[in-house]
Amino acid sequence: MLHIWQAAVEQFDQNRNFVLATILSVKGSSPRHVGTRFLLRDDGGTVGTIGGGLFEARVQRFAETVLETRASYRSVFSFTGKDSTSTEMICGGEAEVLLEFVDSADKVREDIFRRVLGMVGSRGSGLLYSQVAIPLNGKSAEGVRHLLIDTQGTRTGGFPGEDGAFAATPEQRLLRPIQILDLSGSEHPVLLEWLHPAGTVYLFGAGHVGVSVALLAAYVHFQVVVLDDRTGLASRERFPNADRVVVLDSFENALSGLGIDSDCYIVIVTRGHSHDRTVLAQALRTPAAYIGMIGSRRKNNLIFQALLMEGFTREDLQRVHAPIGLPIGGETPEEIGVSIVAEMIQARNAKARLGNVQAGPAARTPAHSQAIPCEPPDSPETI
């Protein structure tokens, strides 16, 4: 979503009104999920997509009307019958879309959007609430209000009934990073977005493959931490896209103090089998979402046999993606990096889908106490 917030701030800089089109809910088949957006500029250009085809074209035409009327709309777009048989249309269902008119003179909204851009751009964390005070299939001149809360609890913006939104915010972390809150007694839905780096990659190994993985992982919005015991390779100059580069004394306690949890991805691409085995043994004792280790099947089998002798189970070893990466036939460090990051994206998306299915009632807590996962601790060894 970084490009959407960049485009929004650009419109404020140029004193140009614009429209944000946001999917609020879907039923049946849909090409995109809740929270997906595109931005319509006043010259007719767009940034982002909510699915393409006839669906997006129809929403875009509606958005052009929003620019003219300067009123926000909340509308349902249905795709049945003749429409659903089109090769350019989703295959049946409907999508509820918020079409939010944004006046470039709105200083409160400008401040919020600028702060969101800064937060996302710096790979920070926070919560963005959007109250939609618009009747379904209706319009309102003042129908959307936002509230941004950062990790220090600082609030920007606000709306009536925000305390109810805080009470409906899931505790600890959101199983669904973007969702409509269940607000009892309120006629106005609130869209909640958890702004945070989409998982943290702990990359053990600063060699050629590590360079490619770090670059690509950052590009697809992972937070990236590189760890190696070679000062000549573990450097900020070599890994400009990494969030943190750590020089280890050794790999023996490489995971100590990192706080690995289920939002973390461990990539093991060290320079030797013994280091790989050492890191893997530590990784298997964590709840990491993904553990991958580079190497041939023969080499990996030897490591697995050694770990079985140390007391690990076959169920433990089934967690390991080895050989690492999707089987695309790559040979160069760059191609191997693509296969590894693609496999992590696959794991991340599967985890998100599982969260959507399993999300249920949870304990409630004020939004400003939201726990942000997997922030690597400061260390004197950090470059």
Q: Domain holding 338: CATH number?
A: 3.40.50.720
d(CA 18, CA 103): 7
Q: How confident is the model at residue 176 (pLDDT cuts 50, 70, 90)?
A: low
Q: How confident is the model at residue 31 (pLDDT cuts 50, 70, 90)?
A: low
Residue ranges making up the domain that contains 328: 200-358
Per-residue model confidence as pLDDT tens digits over 328-364: 999 999 999 999 999 999 999 887 666 544 333 233 2
For residue 173, the model assigns a pLDDT of 55
Q: How confident is the model at residue 53 (pLDDT cuts 50, 70, 90)?
A: confident
Q: Which amino acid is at 375?
A: E
350 in a structural domain: yes
Q: Are residues 187 and 230 in the same domain?
A: no
Per-residue model confidence as pLDDT tens digits over 227-286: 999 999 999 999 988 888 999 999 999 999 998 988 899 999 999 889 999 999 999 999
379 in a structural domain: no
381 in a structural domain: no
According to DSSP, the residues that pair with 244 across neighbouring strands are 225
Which of 195, 228, 256 lies at the terminal end of a domain, its last residue?
Answer: 195
d(CA 218, CA 214): 6
383 in a structural domain: no
Q: Are residues 101 and 162 in the same domain?
A: yes
Query: What would you measure as the largest C-alpha separation in the chain, in angstroms?
Result: 71
Q: Which residues contact 118 (CB under 8 A, 6 or more apart)?
A: 124
Q: Are residues 142 and 239 in the same domain?
A: no
Percentage of residues in the chain with pLDDT exceeding 70? 85
Per-residue model confidence as pLDDT tens digits over 204-224: 999 999 999 999 998 887 889
Q: Are residues 86 and 204 in the same domain?
A: no
